[in-house]
Amino acid sequence: MKDLQSKSQWLFVMVAVAAITMVSGSATIWTSAEAQEGGGLPEGFTKGNLAALPSAEMVEAGKRVYFTKCVWCHGVDGAGDGPAADRLWPRPRNFNQGTFKIRHTASGELPLFDAKKPIPGQNDLFETVTHGLPGSAMPSWEGILTEEQRLQVLSFVTSQLVKDRKFDDKETETQTVLQLDGIKPIPPTEESIKKGSELVVDKKCIECHGVNGRGDGNAFNLKDDWGFPIQPADWHKCWNFRGSRQDPYEVKNIFRTFSTGVNGTPMPSFADNTTIEERWHIANFVQSLCERDVNGEPLPIDPLTDKPKVNFVIRSGPVEGDISDDPENEMWTKRERRIVLFGGQITHKPRNFVNRIDDVWVKSLYNDKEIVFLFQWDDRSKSVATEKLPFEPTEVNLDQYGIKEQASKTGEPGSIAAQQNQYTVYNDAFAFQFPVKWQELPAPIKPRFLWGDQKYPVDIVKWDANGTIKAYAGTGWDQDFEDRDDFTEKLKVLKQEWKDGRWTLMVSRPLKGDYDEDTKFEMGKYIPTVFFAWDGHNGDIGRKMAVSAFYYTIQEPPIPKETYIYPTLIAIGVVVLEGWVLTRRANKKKGKTL
Amino acid sequence: MKTLIGGLLGGAIILVLALLSVGILPATSLKLVEGYMPMQMLFELGISVLVFALMSRLLSMGGISLPRFWQGILFWAFILLYLKFRVYPPIPFSVRAMYGTVALIAVFMWMSSNEEDWKKFKQPILNVLDAGTPFHKALRTTYLIALPIILWGYSYNSFLPNLDEPVELRTVHPAPPASTKVHGKTFVLQTSQNPYRVNPEGKYDQEYTNSKIVEQAMGRLLKPEANPWDEKAEGYLKYVREGGEIFFQNCHFCHGDNLNGRGLHAFAFNPIPANFTDPGTIAQLQETFIFWRVAKGGIGLPNEAFPWASVMPPWEQHLTTDEIWKVILFEYWHTGYYPRTWD
């Protein structure tokens, strides 16, 4: 059904493209012929004309939109220095230089903007405002501002806040436009993807994006035009691609970004040194890396959040005998995985406004003695503290050691964006918590998500990248952890490995511990679970971390006998009924004919 | 001629429904007008019945008459598809099942309205049961084997243990306390006022401040003469700007740039952050209620509102009392709502 749907949609697009080409056919052919004769233009691009400036009324109306919605991040003069700016990374766009990331125009050129033409593919800035920039704080304004209002505010921004360049200056500005709709895509066949995987090595993409495309290459030396540290995209999380236009699995968007480059960043345009065919192979390869479900289908994306849809139940599957410590073992590869999303811990000081770990994939298996969790999450750097920390691992109130949250008003030099990659490096770490004595909690009460409370303590298991794993008791967000040495002895790290921008961690814990201190698992019961992650290179330590919502861990019960017995009885009943109907009909007919 | 038009129209209706069901036509493209949905649905279905009648006449004129049995089955299938794919926003399965059953009964009544029709309807079923021809015999064998297997699979699935997320009902706006103590000062919720909701004379003035909020139209834009970013902005509007600065340094991470609960971290949390642009949140509440909620945060909620799950910070740990009042002022200004009053 799904397949059919996408195929038929594709067909529809093809028909539409064909129709458009038929209508505007002569013009298109003429321009591309000219492009070939003219030479100098990269393949797939044609010369475009600068759009007329928007009317003064549009600009004036746009000012009103700007000072209601945009000024808070982008600032009074559009210099990307609004009140929110210092706590954001990436920082809000500074409009003054006219540098815009997502475009159909050649590298270095202004983006497409025409206040009279809100047409997808022909109006880059309009599309950016409409769809937002996923993975950043720029939201989608569709449904909030009308089409007219979006064009108005862009009229204001392009004519008043872009100060160093003029959108209609024929002397200095050119428009070389990628004709994305006129270029026939190459289907993402195995062959094309394989060619792409070779090309990303050839074209040195992996120098920044990493051998496996997790953005872990040259991750700590990259800066944008304004000198702020910047990180290469993680190809496995296409929903965070800024240019995804809320359609993350669409390969065209990757083709576009790759062809035009990302202005203001170290990401160049590859239009000059790749053929169109090569670009499709690379785009197909990058798209093929994006996370998928067990059947290889794109993950369902929640349109409200632009992130994969979440299921809050982590199922642990039954295993007879020993549980393998190899994630490639069949018992693990066949196991369904669930995504757990992280936000920054922004409830108590020090708040973590930028969490570099934003999700983890979880699998779980159990046997009669232990329950094992397999966690895999992307982290661009392996971080292990080189010096002994001045505080005990159990301490959580670390203000006196200078673990502070980002001040709200620092000016650019002290903003979060400027601070990135300059933090003291601590251990990467991961933890999960279950309630102690959950059997006695009066439903729906749970211990608080942030390390429980005095009345309802929690069982915390925390792993550190230096290889230690420990069991703690948590009794509140501001209470130091208490060691549970007895239980620590029973915990095991079955595997820990950082490879090409991804941590793999496998942890085993007993199903049953001491009733009063450790969580005792029971078959088929929902155990409230919270996950925590620390990125050592982000300066994460103590309460400065990433945190999930409440999930549930449940031991999948083996399928009970009744599940086979009753359906079989029903099927037998149906057979008997069939026999009865047939006999009755036969008798009736006989009676009639006799 | 009329029948021809009817037939073509019927084809068009079926085509639209088919496009809807495979997703080529997005479900939102043919909108039903809100509030008139039942009437529109009945109208559309009525037209369809009429058109189908003409269509069947056209077919029989052309010499290909559809057996009564298949007419019934197809019409019922049409109703089911219509309910599933035409109606947007989608209706839940249980309701669709109810309508589907009613439609099935209606089809039966239509089929059995007179003896002759009933016979015609029964005939294909009896043919299969009697297995008079090789084709019918093959069909009968298939049914006899497939039916128990399908039912086995269906009941097996329904007997599998259900491991869905447990449902828990949370009270979003619990009853507030009579008073709340913030930074050593006690605020009585019934009598406290936002000290920044003032007119140019510095007096508490709802009417004046309400006249300066954004326009309650699409986009909710500021009134040109009431721009908090105007350099000359004084009093209320200046406080709104200061509140906005605090909001965008602290709150937008969850509640979003447009105060609609879709902020940068919102996706990770459950319960999801409140949407202030929804008429069911701050527009329904008194300003002092918001003050209590902001100051005490998730951890200060009573149990029916799940304090253990809310990541809302107790803002008294981060902001001064004045800053909290200014943020609240900004939230009402930016959404274009009036705080509810006690009288």
Q: Is B78 a residue whose pLDDT tops 50? A: yes
Residue B146 to chain A, least CA–CA distance (Å): 10
Does domain B179-335 fall under CATH 1.10.1740.10? My reply is no
Task: Return all residues near A355 (Cβ < 8 A) that are at least 6 apart.
Answer: A342, A343, A344, A345, A533, A535, A538, A540, A545, A546, B265
Establish how many alpha carbons lie within 13 A of residue B91's alpha carbon, considering only the half-sphere containing its beta carbon.
18
Interface test with A, best of B127, B152, B251 (most A CBs within 10 A): B152
- Chain mean pLDDT for chain B: 89
The pLDDT confidence band at residue B35, using thresholds 50, 70 and 90, is low
The continuous run of DSSP H or E covering B290 comes out as helix B287-296
Q: Any chain A CB within 8 A of the CB of B204?
A: no
Tell me if the bond preceding A413 is cis, omega within 30° of 0.
no
Q: Is B89 a residue whose pLDDT tops 90? A: no
pLDDT at A1: 41
DSSP state of B203: -
**CA separation, residue A486 to residues A219, A439, A489 (Å):** 41, 21, 6
A581 or B34, which is more confident: A581
Q: What tokens appear for A545 in the block?
A: 């971390």
Tell me which residue of A536, A531, A561 sits closest to A546, measured CA to CA. A531
Residue B144 to chain A, least CA–CA distance (Å): 7
pLDDT under 50: residue ranges of chain A: 1-8, 11, 14-38, 594
Between CA A560 and CA A315 the distance in angstroms is 17
Domain extent listing, chain A:
1-34, 40-174, 190-289, 315-393+426-555, 563-594
Between CA A552 and CA B166 the distance in angstroms is 9
Decide if A165 contacts A172 (C-beta within 8 A): yes
Q: What tokens appear for A367 in the block?
A: 């046997």
For B229-246, write each residue's pLDDT tens digit: 999 999 999 999 999 999
Residue B263 to chain A, least CA–CA distance (Å): 7
Residues of B in contact with A409 (CB under 8 A): 249
**What kind of architecture, by CATH, is found in domain A40-174?**
Orthogonal Bundle (1.10)
pLDDT at A33: 39
Task: Choose among A5, A86, A453: nearest Cβ to B23.
Answer: A5
Task: Return all residues near B47 (Cβ < 8 A) that are at least 6 apart.
Answer: B13
pLDDT at B94: 84
Between CA A397 and CA A381 the distance in angstroms is 26
Backbone φ and ψ for A387, nearest 5 degrees, come out as -110, 160
pLDDT at A18: 47
Q: How do strand A338-341 and strand A469-474 relate by DSSP bridges?
A: unpaired
Beta strands, E only, A393-454:
429-435
Residues 115-144 of chain B with CB under 8 A from chain A are: 126, 129-130, 144
Taking residues B284-302, report their average pLDDT.
95
The residue type found at B62 is: G
Residues of A in contact with B153 (CB under 8 A): 567
**CA separation, residue B257 to residues A41, A303, B213 (Å):** 40, 17, 17
Q: Give CB contacts under 8 A, 24+ apart, made by A467-472.
A: A467/A493, A467/A496, A468/A393, A469/A493, A469/A507, A470/A393, A471/A518, A472/A394
Residues of B in contact with A524 (CB under 8 A): 161
The residue type found at A216 is: D
Q: Is B166's CB within 8 Å of A347's CB?
A: no
Chain B nearest-CA residue for A134: B264
Residues of B in contact with A454 (CB under 8 A): none
Q: Is A567's CB within 8 Å of B248's CB?
A: no
Q: Any chain A CB within 8 A of the CB of B243?
A: no
With vertex at residue A183, the alpha carbon angle to CA A177 and CA A186, rounded to the nearest 5 degrees, is 135
Q: Any chain A CB within 8 A of the CB of B18?
A: no
Q: What tokens appear for A55 in the block?
A: 């009317």
Establish how many alpha carbons lie within 13 A of residue B332's alpha carbon, considering only the half-sphere containing its beta carbon.
29
Between CA A449 and CA B299 the distance in angstroms is 10
Q: Any chain A CB within 8 A of the CB of B258?
A: yes
Q: Is A4's CB within 8 Å of B299's CB?
A: no
Task: Choose among A76, A547, A570: nearest Cβ to B152.
Answer: A570
For the domain made up of A315-393+426-555, the CATH class stated in words is mainly beta
DSSP state of A298: B
Task: Check for a shared fold between A190-289 and A315-393+426-555.
Answer: no
The pLDDT confidence band at residue B30, using thresholds 50, 70 and 90, is low
Q: How do strand B179-182 and strand B185-188 relate by DSSP bridges?
A: antiparallel
Task: Choose among B161, B257, B318: nearest Cβ to A524.
Answer: B161
Residue A290 to chain B, least CA–CA distance (Å): 19
pLDDT at A560: 82
Domain extent listing, chain B:
2-130, 179-335
Establish how many alpha carbons lie within 13 A of residue A62's alpha carbon, considering only the half-sphere containing its beta carbon.
21
Tell me which residue of B288, B222, B250 sits closest to A407, measured CA to CA. B250
For A293, other C-beta atoms within 10 Å of its C-beta total: 12
Between CA B212 and CA B238 the distance in angstroms is 12
Q: What tokens appear for A529 in the block?
A: 């679970």
Q: Is A68's CB within 8 Å of B214's CB?
A: yes
For A424, other C-beta atoms within 10 Å of its C-beta total: 14
Tell me which residue of A358, A350, A394, A405 sits closest to A378, measured CA to CA. A358
Q: How do strand A343-344 and strand A546-547 relate by DSSP bridges?
A: antiparallel
Task: Return all residues near A291 (Cβ < 8 A) that are at least 6 apart.
Answer: A236, A237, A238, A299, A308, A339, A361
Tell me which residue of A366, A147, A178, A399 sits closest to A270, measured CA to CA. A178
pLDDT at A27: 39
For B329-338, write each residue's pLDDT tens digit: 999 999 999 9
Decide if A313 contacts A339 (C-beta within 8 A): no
Fold of A190-289: Cytochrome Bc1 Complex; Chain D, domain 2 (1.10.760)
pLDDT at B195: 97
Residue A409 to chain B, least CA–CA distance (Å): 8
